[in-house]
């Protein structure tokens, strides 16, 4: 399991699948590979990070990607089991909290540059961890997730990138002639831009990470779009790239992971998966803020967390906080056995 050397694999069909269904059309099942992909998230020094790996055999500009590998039903009894196995091999990490995100199968979105990989369905997973338990190996590295999505970084206010580059280009895209709204996207382009990016008085919803990325992809503003052979081109090429691209469809999977985490900490106590065993309430708050972005009201945050019974004092205190020593707390695991299994249901306050 320690061998993380990812080399080339030969695809073998095992046996013809038992006949099940016939159709009158020429619809046939062809071989599909299932890719298992992990967005492994942690918070280090108040910075939300994700574990990225570099494929030593990769020739395509040496992009980084998420840990991943094909699902092998012979070796893996479950999808998640297969994922854990691949992650351990590639990063040395034993995953803790893990949940499935989504399965992506759009034709052409799993390509590498100039690649014609036939058919891969990517199943994305989110894993949360605390780096104390993480012994990442050399070919993997923690990267700030804002490196891939700079427009999501609102810790210092609205990113200038939005007004300077993204909004004008999206507006131009929205105004291009287009067919009527498709069933998958019932809204018009301009409305989608407004809602996703909080323009014209609409609020910025920090959970819409995936929707924003998909919009930028459709508009041809991220590198992956050009790699996949989508339109855009000319106008865009000379302008600065938006965020660091990842291999295959991994940036889309990471966007899904960010959306999920940002939504989930509000109604399930998953934030504690990112914390060490003991922590101060302010450290907890900083971790929440690292994930969500904006600043929270300190006193109200304390009240919320304590009154919900999410934590209990350890009895110890922590000095060196720069002021009065802070009480240390630990996660009250018993809340999982109690009624509504609450999260840290916070709303972002003003800065």
Query: Who's near 45: CB < 8 A, 6+ residues apart?
Result: none
Residue 45 in contact with residue 90, Cβ under 8 Å? no
327 binds, among a second copy, DNA, none (CB under 5 to 8 A by kind): DNA
Size of the site for a second copy (CB under 8 A): 74
- In sequence order, the β-bridge partners of residue 128 are 41, 97
CA angle, residues 224, 157, 286, in degrees to nearest 5: 95
Helix (H, G, I), strand (E, B) or coil at 54: strand
Q: Which of residues 26-55 bind a second copy (CB under 8 A)?
A: 26-34
Tokens of 212: 């924003």
Q: Which is nearer to DNA, 33 or 306 (CB)?
A: 306
Q: Which is nearer to a second copy, 10 or 238 (CB)?
A: 10
Q: Which of residues 138-197 bind DNA (CB under 7 A)?
A: none
Calpha distance 339→229 (Å, rounded):
50
Q: Which is nearer to DNA, 175 or 316 (CB)?
A: 316
Q: Mark 201-230 with x for binding to a second copy (rule: CB under 8 A) and - for no binding.
A: -xx-x-------------------------
Please report the beta strands in 146-277, taking only residues with DSSP state E, as ranges in sequence order. none
Calpha distance 184→225 (Å, rounded):
19
Through-space distance between the first and last CA atoms of the chain, rounded to whole angstroms:
46
The label of the residue with tokens 């052979």 reads 229
Give the nearest distance from C-beta 281 to DNA in angstroms: 5
Which sign, positive or negative, has the C-alpha torsion 231, 233, 236, 242?
A: positive
Which window, 38-46, 59-67, 194-202, 218-226, contacts a second copy (CB under 8 A)? 194-202
Calpha distance 166→143 (Å, rounded):
23
Q: Which of residues 66-125 bind a second copy (CB under 8 A)?
A: 69-80, 85, 89, 96, 100, 102-107, 116-119, 121, 123
Q: Which is nearer to a second copy, 8 or 324 (CB)?
A: 8
Q: Which of 167, 191, 211, 312 binds a second copy (CB under 8 A)?
A: 191
Calpha distance 133→189 (Å, rounded):
44
Which window, 45-53, 160-168, 235-243, 303-311, contacts DNA (CB under 7 A)? 303-311
Give the nearest distance from C-beta 13 to a second copy in angstroms: 5
309 binds, among a second copy, DNA, none (CB under 5 to 8 A by kind): none
Q: Which is nearer to DNA, 183 or 322 (CB)?
A: 322
Q: Which is nearer to a second copy, 116 or 234 (CB)?
A: 116
Which sign, positive or negative, has the C-alpha torsion 135, 141, 144, 145?
A: negative
Q: Which is nearer to DNA, 109 or 262 (CB)?
A: 262
Q: Which of residues 310-329 bind DNA (CB under 7 A)?
A: 317, 319-327
Q: Which is nearer to a second copy, 15 or 45 (CB)?
A: 15
324 binds, among a second copy, DNA, none (CB under 5 to 8 A by kind): DNA
Calpha distance 121→143 (Å, rounded):
25
* H/E element, 255: helix 250-264
Give the nearest distance from C-beta 323 to DNA in angstroms: 2
Cβ-in-10-Å burial (0-12, 13-18, 19+) of 77 comes to exposed
Residue 247 in contact with residue 64, Cβ under 8 Å? yes
**Would you count residue 347 as binding DNA (CB under 7 A)?**
yes
Calpha distance 239→252 (Å, rounded):
21
State the residues that interact with DNA by CB under 7 A.
280-282, 297-300, 302-304, 307, 317, 319-327, 345-347, 349-350
């Amino acid at each position: 399991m320690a061998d993380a050397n990812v080399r080339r694999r030969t695809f073998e069909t095992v046996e013809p699948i038992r006949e099940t269904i016939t159709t009158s059309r020429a619809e046939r099942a062809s071989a599909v590979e299932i890719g298992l992909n992990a967005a492994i998230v942690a918070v280090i020094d108040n910075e939300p990070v994700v574990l990225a790996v570099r494929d030593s055999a990769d020739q395509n500009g040496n992009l980084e990607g998420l840990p991943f590998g094909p699902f092998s039903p012979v070796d893996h009894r479950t999808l998640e089991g297969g994922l854990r196995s691949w992650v351990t091999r590639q990063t040395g990490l034993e995953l803790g909290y893990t949940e499935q995100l989504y399965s992506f199968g759009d034709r052409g979105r799993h390509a590498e540059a100039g690649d014609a990989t036939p058919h891969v369905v990517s199943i994305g997973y989110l894993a949360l961890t605390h780096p104390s338990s993480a012994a990442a190996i050399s070919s993997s590295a923690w990267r700030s997730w804002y490196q891939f999505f700079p427009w999501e970084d609102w810790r210092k206010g609205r990113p200038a990138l939005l007004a300077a580059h993204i909004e004008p280009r999206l507006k131009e895209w929205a105004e291009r002639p287009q067919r009527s709204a498709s069933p998958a996207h019932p809204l018009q382009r301009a409305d989608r831009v407004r809602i996703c990016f909080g323009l014209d008085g609409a609020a910025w919803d920090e959970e819409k990470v995936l929707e924003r990325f998909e919009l930028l992809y459709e508009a041809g503003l991220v590198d992956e779009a050009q790699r996949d052979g989508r339109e855009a081109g000319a106008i865009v090429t000379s302008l600065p790239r938006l965020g660091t691209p990842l291999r295959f469809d991994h940036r889309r999977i990471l966007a899904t992971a960010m959306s999920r985490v940002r939504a989930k900490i509000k109604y399930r106590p998953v934030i504690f998966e990112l914390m060490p065993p003991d922590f101060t309430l302010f450290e907890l708050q900083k971790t929440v803020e690292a994930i969500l972005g904006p600043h929270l009201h300190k006193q109200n945050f304390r009240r919320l967390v304590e009154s919900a019974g999410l934590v209990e004092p350890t009895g110890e205190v922590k000095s060196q906080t720069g002021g009065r020593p802070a009480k240390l707390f630990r996660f009250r695991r018993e809340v999982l056995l109690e009624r509504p299994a609450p999260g840290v249901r916070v709303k972002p306050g003003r800065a």
